[in-house]
Structure 1
């Protein structure tokens, strides 16, 4: 295959373009993990997970394929250039006539720099987060968000919003939180009884435990697993983190001026913790308590709305058409999607 005539795609572009007809393309990606499986006939195979700045995909390496033997000498974290005829169906991405090579030198550095479009979007989203936090008027919440951004901003910018389904990429948490802040700001305009400072702060911190549950290294796009993330989960971790940061800012010199501020600081802290604890909305979905305040209900629905619309966007890009304008159901969405109605243009 002539390398000069083959397109280099990101993983997100591959998922958007691959379908039933073979697509010849290169993909640069990091081998994130491998899992040993067996077919119904008892034959072994590997499920390999590859990732880049835009997302991830699984690829089956069957026991009679050259990749199955080769991957034994390719450690996790290795960056590969995959050259194949790609197809995609309801079960995922497939590769025929697959060839691969390890990236090195300038190609490797370009890969770790990430997709330029994704990087620029995440930079703008981070600016959105910082600007909204700078506008918080409550001095306790302003100090808390400033302290968090200063101490953990870099770690925040590397985290994903999830391991799969939505914003499951390095920097995805910044994208998710920025969009939620934009929505929260608009909703507070429509419902002025909402405490805007509290809601914006709750948006910032609702998934802050994912700095440990869905974290990425400083160099690379493989999402790590941690004992804290596995044994506690992001909601308890978020509550613990906010309590720690609150104790920090309580020691600042300006904190003495907060003693007479209403509502009382302890009440503000409790309401913020409630937003983190209840944001999944239901006990069955992992929240240790149910929403009990207007801001808690608003945060839950804002979070769910952004996650669902991200899933819908990805589903339109990746799902096969069952008929004109009707697309295959994509987990975890509840049904087949239908083309949206275009806006009236007059």
Structure 2
């Protein structure tokens, strides 16, 4: 197969011969006969494509989630780039398996294996109660759960909506919860960690597919909070955990959305439940901000996002306070010492 041509690098007049993911496929009718309207995607962007008659007649079935090899030319239509397809072939499973999926799917900036190692290191250090450690190990080593968790997005579109996003979000929320547990030692650190790491585990069944993420029937009918509690029930029964700890853990999962209007089965009713809810909320909100604002260093001055309906506002990237060279050096030293402490903890 030819070298991949990135969508973000295309311009009007380009000739294209490359593989792409079909994210939308719709057979429509024109005066000249049926035609396909497609959205093609890779990790760099999306592109509208049209397959006109008579070629469209030879392609009776195209669906979102297929990988296709495409030939065609790019033109400008209503000030937007559009690909006119001259040849298209759906790739086989073997051909898809040979593709570097990082070219086609947006993924976490951190390798999933590294994030999973951090999750397991946290569990080894924090979970000193043997039933908690047994429970977490049994879930994380499950042959069905582990590979799904390594790839799953945290959402279809709202936050961490990319491959590995769910694991990234769960780890981030757990680390935030541990920081708060350091500040508030009265919290049950172990129950909080277990719930923080698994609060969204039901999403591996709520949504399906890696190439194209859609809600499953079960996800639509039950939702990931109910699915997560049901999924974890067998592991909780075999863990040897005290019934009161199991009940508290389930409450943390059930209440992490905070309010019934936002999907919570119960409102938070313990200190740990408040901590998990707010940690989950702030991690999701900041992920949304990262997705819509230019990163620090990209351009100068204040920057505003377009209006965001989910946040109910536009978001501003303010001007940052300049850091002195001494602060920058101290920050690097702090990070170095933090990594050394993590390595030492992992050996305990």
TM-score (norm 2): 0.72
Q: 1:81 to 1:64 in 2, by over 3 A?
A: closer
Secondary structure at the aligned position of 1:287 is classed as coil
1:9 has 2:6 as partner: yes
Choose from 295, 316, 323 the match for 1:345: 323
Residue of structure 2 equivalent to 1:80: 68
Residue of structure 1 equivalent to 2:111: 121
Secondary structure at the aligned position of 2:155 is classed as coil
Residue of structure 1 equivalent to 2:140: 149
Residue of structure 1 equivalent to 2:198: 205
Q: 1:301 to 1:50 in 2, by over 3 A?
A: farther
Quote the offset at 1:95 in angstroms.
3.1
| Conserved? CA contact 2:67–2:90, under 8 Å | yes
| Conserved? CA contact 2:49–2:83, under 8 Å | no
| Conserved? CA contact 1:56–1:169, under 8 Å | no
Quote the offset at 1:229 in angstroms.
1.7
Quote the offset at 1:235 in angstroms.
0.7
Secondary structure at the aligned position of 1:175 is classed as helix
Task: Work out the CA distance in 2 between the residues paired with 1:68 and 1:192.
Answer: 65
Residue of structure 1 equivalent to 2:186: 193
Q: 1:222 to 1:140 in 2, by over 3 A?
A: same
Task: Work out the CA distance in 1 between the residues paired with 2:27 and 2:275.
Answer: 43
Greater RCO structure (CA 8 Å; 6+ sep): 1
Task: Work out the CA distance in 1 between the residues paired with 2:37 and 2:189.
Answer: 46
Quote the offset at 1:275 in angstroms.
0.6
Residue of structure 2 equivalent to 1:139: 130
| Conserved? CA contact 1:51–1:221, under 8 Å | no
- Residues 293-315 of structure 1: per-residue CA shift (max 9 Å, x gap): 11111111111111111111111
Indicate the RMSD between aligned Cα atoms, in angstroms. 4.2
Residue of structure 1 equivalent to 2:81: 95
- Residues 210-254 of structure 1: per-residue CA shift (max 9 Å, x gap): 1101233xxx5222543322221111111112222111334xxxx
Residue of structure 2 equivalent to 1:316: 293
Q: 1:272 to 1:324 in 2, by over 3 A?
A: closer
1:292 has 2:269 as partner: yes
1:327 has 2:302 as partner: no
Task: Work out the CA distance in 1 between the residues paired with 2:183 and 2:12.
Answer: 49
Residue of structure 2 equivalent to 1:248: 238
Q: 1:109 to 1:237 in 2, by over 3 A?
A: closer
Secondary structure at the aligned position of 1:111 is classed as coil
Task: Work out the CA distance in 2 between the residues paired with 1:50 and 1:154.
Answer: 26
- Residues 135-183 of structure 1: per-residue CA shift (max 9 Å, x gap): 2122222111110001121222122211111112232111111111222
| Conserved? CA contact 1:37–1:47, under 8 Å | yes
Alignment of 1:26-45 (within 5 A): 28-34=19-25
- Unaligned runs of 5+ residues in structure 2 are 325-348
Choose from 224, 227, 236 the match for 1:237: 227
Secondary structure at the aligned position of 2:22 is classed as strand
- Unaligned runs of 5+ residues in structure 1 are 39-43, 251-257, 259-264
| Conserved? CA contact 2:169–2:283, under 8 Å | yes
